[in-house]
Chain A
Protein backbone atom coordinates (compact mmCIF):
# COMPACT_ATOMS: atom_id res chain seq x y z
CA UNK A 1 0.00 0.00 0.00
CA UNK A 2 1.24 3.47 -0.83
CA UNK A 3 0.88 6.53 1.34
CA UNK A 4 1.50 9.95 -0.14
CA UNK A 5 2.69 12.83 2.00
CA UNK A 6 2.30 16.33 0.57
CA UNK A 7 4.46 18.92 2.30
CA UNK A 8 4.08 22.64 1.78
CA UNK A 9 5.17 25.82 3.54
CA UNK A 10 2.79 27.27 6.11
CA UNK A 11 0.96 30.49 5.30
CA UNK A 12 3.17 33.47 6.08
CA UNK A 13 6.43 31.66 5.40
CA UNK A 14 8.33 33.26 2.56
CA UNK A 15 8.43 31.04 -0.54
CA UNK A 16 10.95 32.74 -2.84
CA UNK A 17 10.80 29.83 -5.29
CA UNK A 18 7.02 30.23 -5.57
CA UNK A 19 7.47 33.96 -6.11
CA UNK A 20 10.04 33.37 -8.86
CA UNK A 21 7.68 30.90 -10.58
CA UNK A 22 4.85 33.42 -10.35
CA UNK A 23 7.03 36.07 -12.01
CA UNK A 24 7.97 33.68 -14.83
CA UNK A 25 4.33 32.67 -15.33
CA UNK A 26 3.37 36.31 -15.44
CA UNK A 27 6.06 36.90 -18.11
CA UNK A 28 4.41 34.13 -20.14
CA UNK A 29 1.08 35.91 -19.90
CA UNK A 30 -0.52 33.97 -17.05
CA UNK A 31 -1.91 36.89 -15.12
CA UNK A 32 -4.71 35.24 -13.13
CA UNK A 33 -2.62 34.31 -10.12
CA UNK A 34 -2.73 35.73 -6.62
CA UNK A 35 0.10 33.59 -5.38
CA UNK A 36 2.25 30.51 -6.18
CA UNK A 37 3.39 28.18 -3.41
CA UNK A 38 5.75 25.23 -3.83
CA UNK A 39 6.06 22.00 -1.89
CA UNK A 40 7.24 18.44 -2.12
CA UNK A 41 5.72 15.00 -2.26
CA UNK A 42 7.01 11.87 -0.56
CA UNK A 43 5.63 8.46 -1.56
CA UNK A 44 5.90 5.74 1.07
CA UNK A 45 5.47 2.18 -0.12
CA UNK A 46 4.53 0.15 2.96
CA UNK A 47 4.95 -3.55 3.58
CA UNK A 48 1.79 -5.42 4.64
CA UNK A 49 0.19 -3.03 7.08
CA UNK A 50 -3.40 -2.11 7.93
CA UNK A 51 -4.43 1.22 6.50
CA UNK A 52 -4.94 2.92 9.87
CA UNK A 53 -1.60 1.60 11.13
CA UNK A 54 0.16 2.96 8.05
CA UNK A 55 -1.43 6.37 8.57
CA UNK A 56 -0.42 6.43 12.24
CA UNK A 57 3.13 5.45 11.34
CA UNK A 58 3.25 8.07 8.58
CA UNK A 59 2.15 10.76 11.05
CA UNK A 60 4.98 9.79 13.35
CA UNK A 61 7.45 9.85 10.43
CA UNK A 62 6.23 13.34 9.54
CA UNK A 63 6.71 14.65 13.07
CA UNK A 64 10.08 12.91 13.58
CA UNK A 65 11.78 13.62 10.27
CA UNK A 66 9.83 14.30 7.09
CA UNK A 67 8.37 17.69 8.03
CA UNK A 68 9.88 20.72 9.70
CA UNK A 69 6.75 21.71 11.60
CA UNK A 70 8.16 25.16 12.36
CA UNK A 71 7.67 26.21 8.74
CA UNK A 72 5.91 23.33 6.98
CA UNK A 73 2.51 21.64 7.04
CA UNK A 74 1.56 18.26 5.60
CA UNK A 75 -1.31 16.19 4.26
CA UNK A 76 -1.45 12.41 4.21
CA UNK A 77 -3.29 10.59 1.42
CA UNK A 78 -3.65 6.88 0.83
CA UNK A 79 -3.17 5.60 -2.70
CA UNK A 80 -5.39 2.57 -3.20
CA UNK A 81 -4.63 0.25 -6.11
Chain B
Protein backbone atom coordinates (compact mmCIF):
# COMPACT_ATOMS: atom_id res chain seq x y z
CA UNK B 1 0.00 0.00 0.00
CA UNK B 2 1.30 3.43 -0.93
CA UNK B 3 0.60 5.79 1.93
CA UNK B 4 1.50 9.28 3.09
CA UNK B 5 1.36 11.14 6.38
CA UNK B 6 0.91 14.91 6.41
CA UNK B 7 3.10 16.94 8.74
CA UNK B 8 2.23 20.46 9.93
CA UNK B 9 4.14 22.56 12.44
CA UNK B 10 2.71 21.22 15.70
CA UNK B 11 1.71 17.75 14.47
CA UNK B 12 2.79 15.35 17.21
CA UNK B 13 1.27 11.97 16.36
CA UNK B 14 2.92 11.74 12.93
CA UNK B 15 5.69 9.43 14.17
CA UNK B 16 3.23 7.14 15.93
CA UNK B 17 1.14 6.62 12.80
CA UNK B 18 4.30 6.19 10.71
CA UNK B 19 5.39 3.40 13.10
CA UNK B 20 1.91 1.85 12.84
CA UNK B 21 1.89 2.01 9.03
CA UNK B 22 5.36 0.45 8.85
CA UNK B 23 4.45 -2.27 11.32
CA UNK B 24 1.27 -3.23 9.48
CA UNK B 25 2.15 -2.77 5.81
CA UNK B 26 5.90 -3.38 6.00
CA UNK B 27 6.42 -0.19 4.01
CA UNK B 28 7.20 3.28 5.31
CA UNK B 29 4.73 6.03 4.31
CA UNK B 30 6.00 9.16 2.60
CA UNK B 31 6.08 12.29 4.72
CA UNK B 32 4.00 15.14 3.32
CA UNK B 33 5.23 18.53 4.55
CA UNK B 34 2.40 21.07 4.66
CA UNK B 35 4.05 23.46 2.20
CA UNK B 36 4.66 20.86 -0.49
CA UNK B 37 2.22 20.32 -3.32
CA UNK B 38 3.65 17.56 -5.48
CA UNK B 39 3.40 13.96 -4.36
CA UNK B 40 3.17 10.60 -6.12
CA UNK B 41 -0.29 8.99 -6.31
CA UNK B 42 -1.12 7.26 -3.04
CA UNK B 43 -3.72 4.79 -1.75
CA UNK B 44 -4.05 6.37 1.68
CA UNK B 45 -3.25 9.72 3.24
CA UNK B 46 -3.30 10.01 7.03
CA UNK B 47 -3.66 13.39 8.70
CA UNK B 48 -2.27 12.76 12.18
CA UNK B 49 -3.13 14.25 15.55
CA UNK B 50 -1.39 17.09 17.28
CA UNK B 51 -1.73 20.82 17.64
CA UNK B 52 -1.14 22.11 14.12
CA UNK B 53 -0.21 25.79 14.17
CA UNK B 54 -0.65 25.79 17.93
CA UNK B 55 -4.45 25.49 17.56
CA UNK B 56 -4.41 29.22 16.76
CA UNK B 57 -7.70 30.81 15.60
CA UNK B 58 -9.58 27.48 15.72
CA UNK B 59 -8.21 23.92 15.88
CA UNK B 60 -7.23 22.90 12.35
CA UNK B 61 -8.23 26.24 10.78
CA UNK B 62 -4.77 27.28 9.61
CA UNK B 63 -3.69 23.77 8.59
CA UNK B 64 -6.86 23.45 6.49
CA UNK B 65 -5.68 26.39 4.36
CA UNK B 66 -2.16 24.97 3.78
CA UNK B 67 -0.84 24.15 0.30
CA UNK B 68 -0.87 20.36 0.96
CA UNK B 69 -4.68 20.41 1.33
CA UNK B 70 -5.25 20.86 -2.42
CA UNK B 71 -3.27 17.67 -2.97
CA UNK B 72 -5.49 15.88 -0.46
CA UNK B 73 -8.61 17.15 -2.25
CA UNK B 74 -7.26 15.91 -5.59
CA UNK B 75 -6.44 12.56 -3.97
CA UNK B 76 -10.03 12.33 -2.70
CA UNK B 77 -11.51 13.17 -6.10
CA UNK B 78 -9.42 10.31 -7.56
CA UNK B 79 -11.15 8.03 -5.03
CA UNK B 80 -8.22 7.89 -2.61
CA UNK B 81 -8.73 7.07 1.06
CA UNK B 82 -8.06 9.60 3.84
CA UNK B 83 -7.92 9.00 7.57
CA UNK B 84 -7.98 12.06 9.85
CA UNK B 85 -7.20 11.34 13.46
CA UNK B 86 -8.02 13.87 16.21
CA UNK B 87 -6.46 17.13 14.93
CA UNK B 88 -6.63 15.45 11.52
CA UNK B 89 -10.41 15.16 11.95
CA UNK B 90 -10.55 18.85 12.94
CA UNK B 91 -8.52 19.74 9.82
CA UNK B 92 -10.84 17.70 7.53
CA UNK B 93 -13.83 19.60 8.93
CA UNK B 94 -12.13 23.00 8.66
CA UNK B 95 -11.18 22.20 5.05
CA UNK B 96 -14.85 21.50 4.29
CA UNK B 97 -14.07 17.86 3.42
CA UNK B 98 -16.24 16.55 6.26
CA UNK B 99 -19.32 18.41 7.61
CA UNK B 100 -20.19 19.71 11.08
CA UNK B 101 -17.91 21.23 13.67
CA UNK B 102 -15.73 20.10 16.58
CA UNK B 103 -16.17 22.41 19.54
CA UNK B 104 -14.76 22.60 23.06
CA UNK B 105 -15.37 19.56 25.28
CA UNK B 106 -18.54 20.00 27.28
CA UNK B 107 -16.77 19.85 30.65
CA UNK B 108 -13.94 22.18 29.54
CA UNK B 109 -11.38 19.48 30.29
CA UNK B 110 -8.65 18.09 28.10
CA UNK B 111 -9.65 14.41 28.13
CA UNK B 112 -6.98 11.74 27.82
CA UNK B 113 -8.24 8.21 28.44
CA UNK B 114 -9.56 5.00 26.88
CA UNK B 115 -12.98 5.05 25.27
CA UNK B 116 -15.18 2.21 24.12
CA UNK B 117 -16.40 2.52 20.53
CA UNK B 118 -19.35 0.88 18.86
CA UNK B 119 -19.10 0.34 15.11
CA UNK B 120 -22.18 1.66 13.34
CA UNK B 121 -24.03 0.39 10.27
CA UNK B 122 -22.44 2.43 7.52
CA UNK B 123 -22.28 2.81 3.81
CA UNK B 124 -19.55 0.74 2.16
CA UNK B 125 -16.26 2.04 3.53
CA UNK B 126 -12.77 0.56 3.41
CA UNK B 127 -12.32 1.68 7.01
CA UNK B 128 -15.25 -0.29 8.39
CA UNK B 129 -16.32 -2.96 5.93
CA UNK B 130 -13.76 -5.44 7.24
CA UNK B 131 -14.85 -5.10 10.87
CA UNK B 132 -17.56 -7.18 12.53
CA UNK B 133 -20.37 -4.95 13.74
CA UNK B 134 -20.56 -6.60 17.16
CA UNK B 135 -16.92 -5.84 17.80
CA UNK B 136 -16.31 -3.04 20.26
CA UNK B 137 -13.03 -1.19 20.11
CA UNK B 138 -11.12 0.20 23.07
CA UNK B 139 -9.18 3.15 21.72
CA UNK B 140 -7.88 6.16 23.66
CA UNK B 141 -8.83 9.79 23.06
CA UNK B 142 -6.71 12.83 23.93
CA UNK B 143 -8.28 16.15 23.06
CA UNK B 144 -9.79 19.43 24.19
CA UNK B 145 -12.04 20.11 21.18
CA UNK B 146 -13.69 16.85 20.20
CA UNK B 147 -17.31 17.69 20.87
CA UNK B 148 -18.98 16.99 17.50
CA UNK B 149 -21.62 19.62 16.88
CA UNK B 150 -24.03 19.80 13.95
CA UNK B 151 -27.55 20.96 13.12
CA UNK B 152 -30.42 18.49 13.67
CA UNK B 153 -30.77 18.31 9.88
CA UNK B 154 -27.14 17.31 9.41
CA UNK B 155 -27.25 14.82 12.31
CA UNK B 156 -30.29 13.11 10.74
CA UNK B 157 -28.64 13.13 7.33
CA UNK B 158 -25.46 11.54 8.70
CA UNK B 159 -27.50 8.85 10.44
CA UNK B 160 -29.82 8.10 7.51
CA UNK B 161 -26.95 8.05 5.02
CA UNK B 162 -24.91 5.64 7.17
CA UNK B 163 -22.09 8.09 7.65
CA UNK B 164 -21.66 7.79 11.41
CA UNK B 165 -18.67 5.47 11.79
CA UNK B 166 -18.26 5.15 15.56
CA UNK B 167 -20.16 6.07 18.69
CA UNK B 168 -18.89 6.17 22.27
CA UNK B 169 -20.69 3.55 24.35
CA UNK B 170 -20.97 2.69 28.04
CA UNK B 171 -18.43 0.36 29.57
CA UNK B 172 -20.91 -0.53 32.31
CA UNK B 173 -24.58 0.40 32.67
CA UNK B 174 -24.19 3.29 35.10
CA UNK B 175 -21.21 4.79 33.28
CA UNK B 176 -22.27 8.43 32.96
CA UNK B 177 -18.93 9.67 31.62
CA UNK B 178 -18.71 7.29 28.66
CA UNK B 179 -18.88 10.17 26.19
CA UNK B 180 -15.58 12.00 26.78
CA UNK B 181 -16.55 15.32 25.20
CA UNK B 182 -20.33 15.68 25.07
CA UNK B 183 -20.55 15.11 21.30
CA UNK B 184 -24.01 15.08 19.69
CA UNK B 185 -25.48 11.56 19.55
CA UNK B 186 -22.19 10.25 21.09
CA UNK B 187 -20.51 10.55 17.69
CA UNK B 188 -16.78 9.67 17.69
CA UNK B 189 -16.16 9.54 13.94
CA UNK B 190 -17.88 10.23 10.61
CA UNK B 191 -17.46 9.30 6.95
CA UNK B 192 -17.55 11.27 3.71
CA UNK B 193 -20.38 10.67 1.23
CA UNK B 194 -18.31 8.11 -0.68
CA UNK B 195 -17.18 6.38 2.53
CA UNK B 196 -13.49 6.78 1.68
CA UNK B 197 -12.70 9.63 4.08
CA UNK B 198 -12.91 8.92 7.81
CA UNK B 199 -12.48 11.50 10.55
CA UNK B 200 -12.26 10.20 14.11
CA UNK B 201 -11.32 11.67 17.49
CA UNK B 202 -9.87 8.45 19.04
CA UNK B 203 -6.23 7.55 18.32
CA UNK B 204 -5.92 4.01 16.87
CA UNK B 205 -2.13 4.48 16.56
CA UNK B 206 -1.97 4.64 20.36
CA UNK B 207 -3.34 1.11 20.71
CA UNK B 208 -1.13 -1.05 18.50
CA UNK B 209 1.08 -2.74 21.06
CA UNK B 210 0.46 -4.54 24.36
CA UNK B 211 2.58 -1.98 26.18
CA UNK B 212 0.01 0.61 25.07
CA UNK B 213 -2.58 -1.23 27.13
CA UNK B 214 -4.37 -2.70 24.15
CA UNK B 215 -4.19 -3.59 20.47
CA UNK B 216 -7.66 -2.66 19.18
CA UNK B 217 -6.13 0.16 17.15
CA UNK B 218 -3.92 -2.41 15.41
CA UNK B 219 -7.00 -4.53 14.67
CA UNK B 220 -8.84 -1.55 13.20
CA UNK B 221 -5.92 -0.24 11.14
CA UNK B 222 -4.98 -3.71 9.83
CA UNK B 223 -8.52 -4.40 8.60
CA UNK B 224 -8.74 -0.91 7.06
CA UNK B 225 -5.47 -1.26 5.19
CA UNK B 226 -6.50 -4.70 3.84
CA UNK B 227 -9.70 -3.16 2.43
CA UNK B 228 -7.95 -0.11 1.01
CA UNK B 229 -5.63 -2.16 -1.16
CA UNK B 230 -8.62 -4.49 -1.78
Contact = CB atoms under 8 A, between A and B. Distances in A.
B155 interface: no
B57 A14 contact: no
A65 B108 contact: no
A20 B105 CA distance: 12
- Majority-rule SS of B interface residues: loop
A25 interface: no
A16 B101 contact: no
Interface residues of A, number: 11
A76 interface: no
Contacts of A13: 103, 149
Interface string A35-70: 000000000000000000000000000001110101
For chain B, give the interface size range. 10 to 19
A65 B30 CA distance: 29
Contact of A70 (B57, B62, B101, B147): B101
A16 B105 contact: yes
B58 A68 contact: yes
Interface string B42-65: 000000000000000110011001
Interface of A: 13-14, 16-17, 20, 64-66, 68, 70-71
Q: A-B pairs with the 9 shortest C-beta distances?
A: A70-B101, A71-B101, A16-B108, A16-B104, A16-B106, A68-B58, A20-B108, A65-B65, A68-B101
